[in-house]
Chain A
Amino acid sequence: MAYKIIVSQCTACGACEFECPNAAISTKRGNYVINAALCTECEGHFPAAQCAAVCPVPDTCVKV
């Protein structure tokens, strides 16, 4: 399981990239994307998915 970013709603602020404990988030051609292979849903690091908790746009970092 992993999270993904709904690109059409993303403001490209980069907060999620900064907070991700697994460096699973990066920019690809100007868009922020989550590498599902690296995403652990923050398990073992934090009780809540960091990207979803920091993202300013509701329902933009969501569970796949």
Chain B
Amino acid sequence: MAQIITLESLLAPAADPASGCTASACGSQQGPAGMAADVWERVKDHPCYAEEAHHYFARMHVAVAPACNIQCNYCNRKYDCANESRPGVVSEKLTPDQAVRKIIAVANSVPQLSVLGVAGPGDAVYDWRHTAETFRRVQAAIPDLRLCISTNGLALPDHIDAIAAMGIDHVTITINFIDPEIGARIHPWIFHNHQRFTGIEAARILHERQMLGLEMLVARGILAKINSVMIPGVNDAHLVEVNRVVTQKGAFLHNIMPLISDPAHGTAFGLSGQRGPTPAELKTLQDSLAGGANLMRHCRQCRADAVGLLGEDRGQEFNLDQLPAETAYDPAPRATYRELVAETRGEHAAHREAARDDLAAVDAPAVLVAIATRGGGRINQHFGHAQEFQVYEVSPDGIRFIGHRRVEQYCQSGWGEDATLDGVLAALAGVACVLVAKIGDCPRNSLTGAGIEASQDHAYDWIESGIAAWYAQRYRSTVRLTA
């Protein structure tokens, strides 16, 4: 079993001496622009909702609700529900009893754990018996764990009061369309009121239930996040309309997920050759929507039994056969971790402020910078160990998180393989610079050859401070050359 990530290890080896800034001195954590303070208070420890929280907190999904009441063309039920997860992966299906054992084992060894979600395969609300039993038992064991569910929305109005009564305060609905003609190209059938409906009629019912469910959530003060799968040529342009409608109805966050399509997944879209969007197409759409509901750019489409922080997945360490038969919950590790985070977050916020001031003095175009990080808000990962890079856009106006670029880990046994390095280069397309804790000469040369700068000068610095320093410096040298 891999060891637990502690805050100290995230800082190692060049730990910043405490800056003297305490959490209380720095005031409250600033949420993303446009997010109301009370909403931020509710989501700030939720790695899937609060961009800043994903540096510190981990979520865990359990697949306890395998039954579903609709069909999506990007889903093959052998695999996880593609509405929340990465398609083409199979998660361990658990009974509520097995799930509770697993959750307690994870809470005991991953102190970052703050959220438990039920994601597919299946629909957590349609298969409510299993979801509810799991949540009831987890609440009894670990009362402060946040609970969340995701659903296609069809059965949501039926269980809304049970959801509210259970204290679930975040629900994700996947809404891919407003216009039923478009919906019919994505969802071929639904099962509703003991009948199977197909085509436009099915899409119309699904749409009405999704809107009703969203309104009911908002009316009860439950935070509603909307996921949309971006399907080029089908609903890509239409998602602007989806964004407008869900924002107007009170969704607090809208997450656009790229369709991931592969014939090997055996989905209708995979088999018909429907392609997914490129990172550039995704970003263009997200940029055109900014200003509506807060856009969520950090969703990783985790697998449904994922466990972990950032892009990591430690789910395999907690497979059922590796768990002890009896596990008692120990609240101490999570409590200690929370205290540390409270301090660190204040410091991080102060550095972010300082970085913003530094940038205002620079006059240069906006560029993309990729970061290798293991969490904690620092540039603290070796280039070859990164499974994903976090991409930020930097300009004199500030630093903005853009999204993740996932890569195959290219450093497997100390020797990089060219094939995967090509994959890394493709994933980093459009990026001006990669900031890492360390990088070897060989990959650095390949990056340089592809026109991407790589720097370890800002190793273990805060992400925003490192980006600002690199940007200011690069700009200065450009001036000197052209002067």
Contacts and interface: CB of A to CB of B under 8 A. Distances in A.
Interface of A: 11-15, 18-19, 46-48, 50, 53-54, 56-57
Contact of B195 (A11, A14, A48, A57): A48
B320 to A, nearest CB: 14
Contact of B66 (A12, A46, A50, A53): A12
21 contacts: A11-B66, A11-B78, A12-B66, A13-B68, A14-B127, A15-B67, A15-B68, A15-B126, A18-B127, A19-B191, A46-B194, A46-B195, A48-B194, A50-B194, A53-B191, A53-B194, A53-B195, A54-B191, A54-B196, A56-B68, A56-B71
Residue from B66, B69, B77, B121 having most chain A Cβ neighbours under 10 A = B77
Contacts of A57: 77
B122 interface: yes
A18 B67 contact: yes
B93 interface: yes
B131 to A, nearest CB: 12
Nearest to A50: B194
Contacts of B126: 15
Contacts of A15: 67-69, 122, 126-127, 191
Contacts of A47: 195
Contacts of B191: 15, 19, 53-54
Interface in B75-97: 77-78, 93
Contact of B121 (A13, A18, A46, A50): A13
Contacts of A11: 66, 77-78, 121
A17 B251 CA distance: 34
B272 to A, nearest CB: 16
B66 A14 contact: yes
A19 B196 CA distance: 12
Nearest to A15: B67
Contacts of A50: 194
A11 B115 CA distance: 28
B63 to A, nearest CB: 11
B196 A14 contact: no
Contacts of A56: 68, 71, 77
Contacts of B71: 56
Contact of B196 (A12, A13, A18, A53): A53
Contacts of A14: 66-67, 127
Contact of A48 (B121, B122, B127, B196): B196
Contact of A13 (B77, B129, B195): B77
Nearest to A54: B191
Given A18-B67, A18-B127, A13 B194 contact: no
Given A13-B77, A18-B129, A54-B191, 4 more contacts: A19-B191, A46-B195, A56-B68, A56-B77
A57 B196 CA distance: 13
A13 B69 contact: no
Contacts of B122: 13, 15
B70 to A, nearest CB: 9
Contacts of B67: 13-15, 18, 54
A56 B126 CA distance: 14
Nearest to B128: A18
B93 A12 contact: yes
Residue from A15, A46, A53, A57 having most chain B Cβ neighbours under 10 A = A15
Nearest to B123: A15
A8 to B, nearest CB: 12
A42 B69 CA distance: 18
Contacts of B121: 11, 13
